[in-house]
């Protein structure tokens, strides 16, 4: 994981010294066997400037001297410098299916610890989820390296959130949970809290990596345990006033259906096409079908489920709903993620049905492709703002000003 050095010091108040300090730290992160002498040559800076600013970084404990090596030329041995990756860490809390996963993440993206708990759907209310979360965080804090400073708690959840007020408004997987206040967790541990809807965070992180997608519109679709979407226009992820956008998994697609969705309504798309709704019928044929998405995707590589009647119904319902969603936004790109779209025959059927529903005037104006948005993308998007803010204070603080 790489800090966005070009944006950390991007405001007009940053001095030349701030920028030099940032460049030095970046070079220490990027290069092996780097020393003060080699930094001066590589960055074309005066040795005294290098020495002063490196000493500041060492004093701030974000850089350390690790060993001496023979000089590349004449003179005394050189001291090799290295970044202290675990100087600052972030607690990351993520909800996956019905589990809460809590991790300690350092500035390289490495996991220093992890605690996981599964929450029962019918019992999970605000108090239970808060208690479980606080228990996981306490265990991680107890195992934090002594030299590490915890910067905050980054939270990634599905459903509807109020990001500004750090409230988890609603999630269909735990319907008894309503407007859960994550600020209570921050107050308990004395740490700032950041909250993100998972699909919005995934799309925001994707746009950081793919500059070409920052122009026009992108519709990110996830089809797995649940169904949802995120949408970006000209590089900005769109959010509604209640903290959600694109909850099309809870569109009513069969008003006559009596099958109840996790959201409390009946006849939703998820009751036909989501993994949670398909599991009971799939398990009558394959008793060991897993509910976790990664394990389910591996299962489908060994077992062809694409021609099962319930899967064909799911694909057709999903394709029609996606086509209707696209008519509302007419995205330039549709990015598909999740285990179902990684089944080749399912993807082929989905594409065929989708483009059949596409208006004639929109043909050729929408690209559709599958992407793998790994856990690292989510981790980076969740924890990076904490590291950026803290390192900005490091780069703009100098001994002569203290």
The pLDDT value recorded for residue 318 is 96
Is residue 158 classed as helix, strand or coil in its secondary structure?
coil
Q: What is the chain's mean pLDDT, rounded?
A: 88
Count of other CB atoms within 10 angstroms of residue 265: 15
Residues 235-276 have pLDDT tens digits of: 988 877 665 667 888 889 888 888 888 777 889 999 999 999
Instruction: Give the separation between CA 108 and CA 317, rounded to whole angstroms.
Output: 42
Is residue 228 classed as helix, strand or coil in its secondary structure?
strand
| pTM of structure | 0.83
Beta-strand pair 333-337/367-370: parallel
Nearest to 393 by CA among 8, 5, 119, 1: 8
CB 168 within 8 A of CB 161: yes
Confidence of residue 229 (pLDDT cuts 50, 70, 90): very high
Sequence-ordered list of residues with C-beta below 8 angstroms from that of 119, at least 6 positions apart, any chain: 98, 99, 100, 128, 129, 132, 174
Rg (CA), the chain: 25
Distances (CA, A) of 224 to 96, 166, 277: 11, 26, 10
Q: Transcribe 107-140 into DSSP letters.
A: TTS-EEEEEEEE--TTT--HHHHHHHHHHHHHHH
Instruction: Give the separation between CA 80 and CA 69, rounded to whole angstroms.
Output: 7
Distances (CA, A) of 399 to 9, 66, 255, 393: 18, 23, 68, 13
The pLDDT value recorded for residue 16 is 87
Beta-strand pair 78-83/236-237: unpaired
Window from 222-236, 280-294, 334-348, 362-376 with minimum mean pLDDT:
362-376
The pLDDT value recorded for residue 363 is 81
Determine the average pLDDT of the residues in 199-226. 89
| H helix runs in 334-374, sequence order | 344-357
The pLDDT value recorded for residue 241 is 66
Instruction: Give the separation between CA 304 and CA 178, rounded to whole angstroms.
Output: 39
- Going across the sheet that includes 88-96, the strands are 111-118, 99-106, 88-96, 149-157, 193-197
- Establish how many alpha carbons lie within 13 A of residue 59's alpha carbon, considering only the half-sphere containing its beta carbon: 12
**pLDDT of 196 over the 80 cut:** yes
CB 198 within 8 A of CB 244: no
Q: Which domains does the chain carry?
A: 5-84 (1.10.10.10), 88-201+376-388 (3.30.420.40), 211-371 (3.30.420.40)
């Amino acid at each position: 994981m790489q800090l966005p050095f070009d944006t950390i010091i991007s405001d007009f108040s940053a001095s030349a010294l701030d920028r030099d300090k940032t460049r030095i730290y970046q070079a220490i992160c990027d290069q092996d066997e780097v020393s003060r002498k080699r930094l001066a040559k590589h960055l074309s800076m005066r040795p005294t400037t290098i020495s002063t600013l490196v000493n500041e970084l060492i004093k701030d404990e974000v850089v350390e001297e690790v060993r001496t090596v023979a000089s590349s030329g004449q003179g005394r041995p050189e001291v090799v410098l290295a970044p202290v990756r675990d100087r600052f860490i972030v607690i990351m809390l993520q909800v996956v299916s019905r589990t809460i996963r809590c991790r300690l993440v350092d500035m390289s993206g490495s996991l220093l610890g992890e605690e996981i708990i599964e929450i029962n759907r019918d019992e999970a209310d605000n108090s239970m989820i808060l208690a479980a979360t606080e228990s996981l965080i306490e265990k991680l804090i107890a195992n934090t390296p002594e030299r590490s400073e915890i910067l905050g708690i980054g939270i990634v959840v599905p459903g509807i959130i109020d990001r500004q007020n750090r409230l988890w408004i609603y999630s269909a997987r735990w319907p008894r949970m309503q407007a859960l206040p994550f600020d209570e967790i921050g107050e308990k541990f004395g740490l700032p809290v950041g909250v993100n809807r998972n699909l919005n965070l995934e799309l925001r992180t994707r746009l950081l990596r793919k500059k070409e997608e920052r122009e026009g519109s992108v519709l990110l679709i996830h089809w797995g345990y649940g169904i949802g979407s995120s949408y970006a226009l000209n590089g900005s992820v769109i959010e509604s006033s209640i903290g959600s956008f694109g909850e099309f998994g809870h569109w009513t697609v069969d008003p006559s259906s009596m099958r109840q969705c996790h959201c409390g309504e009946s006849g939703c798309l998820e009751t036909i096409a989501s993994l949670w709704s398909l599991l009971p019928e799939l398990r009558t044929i394959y008793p060991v079908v897993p509910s976790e998405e990664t394990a389910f995707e591996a299962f489908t590589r060994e077992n062809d489920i694409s021609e099962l009647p319930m899967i064909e119904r799911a694909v057709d319902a999903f394709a029609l709903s996606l086509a209707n969603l696209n008519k509302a936004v007419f995205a330039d790109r549709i990015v598909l993620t999740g285990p179902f779209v990684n089944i080749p025959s399912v993807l082929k059927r989905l594409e065929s049905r989708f483009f059949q529903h596409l208006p004639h005037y929109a043909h050729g104006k929408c690209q559709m492709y599958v992407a793998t948005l790994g856990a690292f993308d989510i981790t980076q998007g969740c924890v990076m703002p904490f590291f950026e803010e803290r390192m900005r204070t490091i780069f703009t603080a100098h001994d002569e000003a203290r």
